[in-house]
Amino acid sequence: MILPDTCILIHFMLVEATDLVKHLLVYPENMQRNMNLYGGVIFSQRVLLALVEKGLSREAAYKIVQTCAHEAWNKPGGDFHRLIKNHPDVKEQLTSEEIADCFEPQHHLRNLDEVYQRLGI
């Protein structure tokens, strides 16, 4: 008895989720504002990984990123990108182009078409 009920529930959930995504309203201006709400700290992972790829130890990279992220997050008008760009240890490891690439939102959207295809949207 539980198997048919489970299948019905999963079908319902999939139909609802698909409908939600199909009728989703996206406001790019709000998304941009929200991404920078805490000074651009959302991009900290990419900066950390870029520093590690350049040979910095994970602990050293984490300390740099954490210090800059904490300052950007906790100060009004904090700017994580500016702090990273001006950090002397980061400048030794990454070029200005590599830093700019870490803050490129399109990186996170690169597989979006494939995700939509999987959902049949």
Average pLDDT over residues 72-87: 90
* Res 77: pLDDT: 81
pLDDT digits (tens, 9 = 90+) for 4-51: 999 999 999 999 999 998 898 989 899 888 877 788 899 999 999 999
User: Which CATH number does the domain housing residue 27 bear?
Assistant: 1.10.40.30
CA distance linking residue 118 with residue 121, whole number of Å: 8
| HSE, side-chain direction, 13 A CA sphere, residue 66 | 6
Split into its structural domains, the chain has a count of 1
Q: Which two tokens stand for residue 107?
A: 């990186």
Give the structural domain span for 41: 2-119
Locus of tokens 């939102």? 105
Where does the pLDDT of residue 78 fall: very low under 50, low under 70, confident under 90, or very high at 90 and above? confident
Q: What is the pTM of this model?
A: 0.70
CA distance linking residue 68 with residue 48, whole number of Å: 11
Give, to the nearest 10 degrees, the angle between helix 58-74 and helix 44-53.
160
